[in-house]
Structure 1
């Protein structure tokens, strides 16, 4: 995806930096009629957000071997171990509606072979939103990066496996996010591989979006919360998502957690960039209290993508 395309998404008001899903209010989410594209239910309605009845078993500092897939016909299409620079990614600059930080490229850096995306308490002046010429003062900074390469479960590569080894950020007001998205949101879709609120790091949510008209998500019930048996900010865990024409299958530390079907076939052949971000505030928090913000860091060991016929 070209830089100009990314900025066009923001200028149009589609908030595809934070990719936060609906605010969490136990089991029921009320969606306003002017819902932004980060919402998880159909505009103007009410959706019940399910929680997985099974608590997923995790393995602290779990690692992943490429041969797990390559020995079974998968081909590696992308591999960033963050041992060099961030040339595979584009860093965004500016604020995001409903969030309180300014995204700054300097907040995404490689340290000792891992990517660190940090939310900091500091005063800066920057674009009100990414791509805007209007400026404002922010009291917090963070980072949001998107891949220069695009990916798709498609006729040419019917299956895609997206792999991320991550240690989540802990702290009220933060949300660790990894997803993929296309231009003209949501006509080319969006897939949330994980979202982890820093105030509750013993669960993660997943979601996906699609619509035939820009800014109009038509997927209902795409979001799910998945409880886990450990603190996702205490050590590294591997999140894998298998994207095929029929389904999205979500794994943590090698174990299948959930499968989404529904409108997933609409995402087939839709090219999407990968996104990593650590928003401060936003729609993930209900009755958000800025005074309670705690800054922190999301650590990423690697991001990999595999394809299969």
Structure 2
């Protein structure tokens, strides 16, 4: 399947094509098979930043609008709840009215409300600072239910020249799998086909408990891990090397969308979607070495 995505930078008015996983024919990734466990998730890594969600969301910007990709949710800060050191991103079926996209004066009615946050600070490796590798980690329990589209990802602004890395995307009606993707392009605000989707199947029920999703970002490769086990290593994105993303720091993003082009046409009937769902996030951490 091939999809177009639309995203924008944090609460900016810049409109750009994006969001989540798009696949392309014959993706040029190096698949790690069989996967090997990472010997020590934090050995020789220095902690840059972490949020254990035990105080507030002051490190994040929360969306208060709709989004793109034919999604049907209005993002509102009220759907983000902190309790006992866990962030809950709550999804509810209820009619609400809000801005169609961030910064827009146009209003419309949405049948769902959900939450999206992205870090105020950008992170990523930098040759100037001598930071050769970065590691983004989050411990997440995915939401269950048809129509749910949870994501843990990062992006640079402007897109796609500074890239996007989808560490985790999933469908609530497919609890035993998730996928990752990478985007990169040479013209800001212009859709790109330089992307690589990888789907990981036959997993434990990811909605039943917490699991750790990770990205290791090096100059010549990106590595995706689940519970310290390497799932895939990206070394190229079509005709562009992963090194083209180097020195482009990203905002880290957590959200649950509802519906949209991430789902096949036969799965876009919102009357069949779950009425409620929740994505729980225990913590987010950033390391470097």
The two structures have a TM-score, normalised by structure 1, of 0.81
Residues 302 and 230 from structure 1, CA distance in 2 versus in 1: closer, same or farther, beyond 3 angstroms? same
**2:255 is the counterpart of 1:274:** no
Task: Give, in whole Å, the separation in 1 of the partners of 2:157 and 2:143.
Answer: 28
Task: Give, in whole Å, the separation in 1 of the partners of 2:16 and 2:10.
Answer: 10
Which one of the candidate residues 4, 11, 14 is aligned to 1:12?
14
Q: Secondary structure at the residue paired with 1:291?
A: helix
Q: Which residue of 2 aligns with 1:256?
A: 230
| Matches for 1:188-267 after TM superposition, within 5 Å | 188-262=162-236, 263-267=241-245
Q: Which residue of 2 aligns with 1:289?
A: 269
Alpha-carbon distance, 1:174 to partner: 0.7
**2:271 is the counterpart of 1:300:** no
Q: Which residue of 2 aligns with 1:173?
A: 147
Q: Secondary structure at the residue paired with 2:231?
A: strand
Alpha-carbon distance, 1:219 to partner: 5.0
Any idea what the Cα deviations from partners look like across 1:34-81, whole Å, max 9, x if unmatched? xxxxxx44xxxxx357997969799xxxxx9xx9455x3211001111
Any idea what the Cα deviations from partners look like across 1:132-191, whole Å, max 9, x if unmatched? 111111111001100011101121211001111000011111111000111111111111
Alpha-carbon distance, 1:206 to partner: 0.4
Segment drifting more, 207-216 vs 264-273: 207-216
Residues 245 and 214 from structure 1, CA distance in 2 versus in 1: closer, same or farther, beyond 3 angstroms? same
Q: Which residue of 1 aligns with 2:4?
A: none
Alpha-carbon distance, 1:110 to partner: 0.6
**2:106 is the counterpart of 1:134:** yes
Residues 55 and 111 from structure 1, CA distance in 2 versus in 1: closer, same or farther, beyond 3 angstroms? farther
The two structures have a TM-score, normalised by structure 2, of 0.87
State the aligned residue count: 271
| Matches for 1:76-155 after TM superposition, within 5 Å | 76-97=47-68, 98-155=70-127
Task: Give, in whole Å, the separation in 1 of the partners of 2:28 and 2:208.
Answer: 25
Task: Give, in whole Å, the separation in 2 of the partners of 1:126 and 1:99.
Answer: 14
Which one of the candidate residues 126, 129, 135 is aligned to 1:161?
135
Q: Which residue of 1 aligns with 2:5?
A: none
Q: Could you list the runs of 5+ residues in structure 2 that have no partner in the other structure?
A: 1-7
Q: Could you list the runs of 5+ residues in structure 1 that have no partner in the other structure?
A: 23-39, 42-46, 59-63
Q: Secondary structure at the residue paired with 2:153?
A: strand
Residues 153 and 53 from structure 1, CA distance in 2 versus in 1: closer, same or farther, beyond 3 angstroms? closer
Alpha-carbon distance, 1:302 to partner: 0.4
Task: Give, in whole Å, the separation in 2 of the partners of 1:54 and 1:176.
Answer: 26
Task: Give, in whole Å, the separation in 1 of the partners of 2:79 and 2:243.
Answer: 36
